[in-house]
């Protein structure tokens, strides 16, 4: 890479401080050290390794609770599946969990939920439970109860606390509680929820669990109550890469989560633009255009999948909210979201770059030093702006799809 092309690329991210968006602290430090030393090839290598880590990092989430607590339904809901979809966890009343059961996310297989058998059962005595279910192998734990948290729940929580890992308590089926309380003349929704939440905390405190986080959820109204706050909390207490893969995998049934998805994806755009910048600095005709199209298609596809705008996700959402897929698709305005093809991406690239600049870029790539530097800077700018524009488009589409799905839904 020439000195001039290094300057063009480096100028684009020099405005950031020591912690770069989309990179861990260690990666940011390594990246900045390489930039200060004038070694942009090393800096680009850091970005590529970071992307590789995003693709290969696994997030293992342990879910446990008594029979009938709603574990399986919760696992399905957070994976954006209906209970009768292919790959869904079985939701029979009878205890189904005989051993730790693995449930990967259908669209984001690096996010894996584990249904754990209860502690203190004949096959899983408390004394050896940690080793029997490999508690050390999970990133964090969610303990679910449909009523009162039990002594077994508290025992497990203490074991997890001793390992220094995060625990979140979920009180499920609050829609049932609200429906029962609604019959009373002095019914107050927020007051009822607060009573349930405080009661759960009191139970846990009496069992010796201090500073517990309790979230009230309903499987059938997974967009309501504490569910969006729970999902945001889970993500924000993870490290950089695991936070990203979880946010992308979360259900697109909350406006709050959709905004978090947009923010997380935005933080990755400069890295993709930097790759484009580096490729454009290589003096080979049309290599830059070919690679730019690949970068655009790969990232645009990821955006649509993360926002639940792919066909499978839309079908699942339509089924969940009893809407037709046609109705949900009718509010999607981005033409590229409907057809992410190389031809369509190339068409947009030509429009964004300009036909004259596309031709000029071909000849510039053959001119040593100055030409490759100009081509590199132009590639960074166009890729960065195109991905930002498309991300904004699909984020707005996702909000429209969600509003359409929620149209006419009953509110409790």
Residue 277: the pLDDT is 75
Distance CA 328, CA 325 (A): 5
pLDDT digits (tens, 9 = 90+) for 117-141: 887 777 888 888 889 899 999 999 9
For 221, how many CA atoms within 13 A lie in the half-sphere containing its CB?
Answer: 17
Residue with tokens 């890729």: 383
Strand 166-171 with 214-216, pairing:
parallel
Decide: helix, strand or coil at residue 81: coil
Q: In the structure, what pLDDT confidence band is assigned to residue 5 with cuts at 50, 70 and 90?
A: very low
Q: How far, CA to CA in Å, does 369 sit from each of 189, 249, 282?
A: 67, 43, 10
Lowest mean pLDDT of 52-56, 92-96, 400-404, name the range.
Answer: 92-96
CATH code of 58-249, in short, is: 3.40.50.300
- CB-based contact 75:266 (threshold 8 Å): no
Residue 381: the pLDDT is 82
Radius of gyration of the chain (CA): 25
Q: Is the pLDDT of residue 359 over 90?
A: no
Domain boundaries, the chain: 3-55+262-406, 58-249
Q: How many CB atoms lie within 10 A of CB 410?
A: 5
- CB-based contact 119:144 (threshold 8 Å): no
Q: Output the pTM of the full model.
A: 0.86
pLDDT digits (tens, 9 = 90+) for 243-299: 999 999 999 999 999 999 999 999 999 988 888 777 655 444 444 567 778 888 899
**First-to-last C-alpha distance (Å) of the chain:** 61
- CB-based contact 251:230 (threshold 8 Å): no
Q: What is the mean pLDDT of residues 375-388?
A: 78
């Amino acid at each position: 890479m020439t000195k001039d092309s290094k300057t063009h690329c480096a100028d684009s991210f020099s405005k950031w401080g020591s912690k770069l968006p989309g990179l861990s602290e260690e990666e940011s430090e390594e990246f900045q050290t390489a930039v200060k030393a004038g070694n942009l090839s090393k800096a680009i290598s850091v970005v590529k390794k970071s992307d590789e880590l995003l693709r290969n990092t696994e997030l293992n989430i342990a879910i446990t609770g008594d029979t009938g607590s709603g574990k399986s339904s919760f696992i399905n809901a957070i994976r954006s599946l209906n209970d009768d979809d292919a790959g869904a966890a079985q939701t029979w009343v009878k205890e189904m969990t005989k051993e730790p059961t693995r449930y990967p996310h259908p669209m984001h297989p690096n996010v894996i939920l584990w249904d754990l058998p209860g502690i203190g059962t004949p096959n899983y005595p408390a004394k050896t439970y940690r080793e029997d279910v490999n508690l050390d192998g999970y990133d964090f734990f969610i303990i679910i109860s449909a009523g009162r948290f039990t002594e077994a729940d508290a025992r497990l929580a203490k074991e997890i606390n001793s390992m220094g890992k995060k625990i979140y308590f979920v009180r499920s089926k609050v829609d049932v509680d609200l429906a029962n309380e609604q019959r009373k003349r002095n019914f107050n929704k927020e007051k009822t929820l607060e009573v349930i939440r405080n009661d759960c905390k009191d139970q846990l405190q009496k069992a010796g669990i201090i500073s517990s986080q309790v979230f009230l959820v309903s499987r059938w109204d997974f967009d309501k109550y504490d569910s969006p706050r729970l999902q945001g909390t889970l993500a924000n207490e993870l490290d950089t890469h695991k936070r990203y893969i979880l946010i992308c995998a979360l259900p697109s049934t909350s406006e709050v989560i959709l905004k978090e998805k947009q923010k997380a994806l935005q933080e990755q755009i400069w890295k993709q633009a930097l790759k484009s910048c580096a490729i454009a600095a290589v003096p080979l005709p049309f290599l830059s255009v070919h690679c730019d199209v690949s970068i655009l298609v790969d990232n645009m596809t990821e955006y649509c999948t993360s926002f639940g705008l792919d066909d499978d996700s839309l079908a699942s959402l339509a089924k969940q909210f009893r809407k037709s897929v046609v109705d949900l698709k009718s509010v999607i305005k981005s033409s590229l979201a409907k057809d992410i093809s190389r031809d369509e991406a190339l068409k947009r690239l030509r429009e964004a770059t300009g036909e004259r600049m596309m031709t000029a870029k071909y000849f510039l790539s053959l001119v040593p030093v100055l030409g490759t530097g100009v081509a590199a800077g132009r590639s960074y700018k166009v890729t960065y702006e195109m991905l930002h524009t498309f991300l904004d488009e699909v984020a707005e589409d996702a909000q429209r799809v969600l509003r359409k799905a929620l149209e006419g839904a009953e509110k409790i």
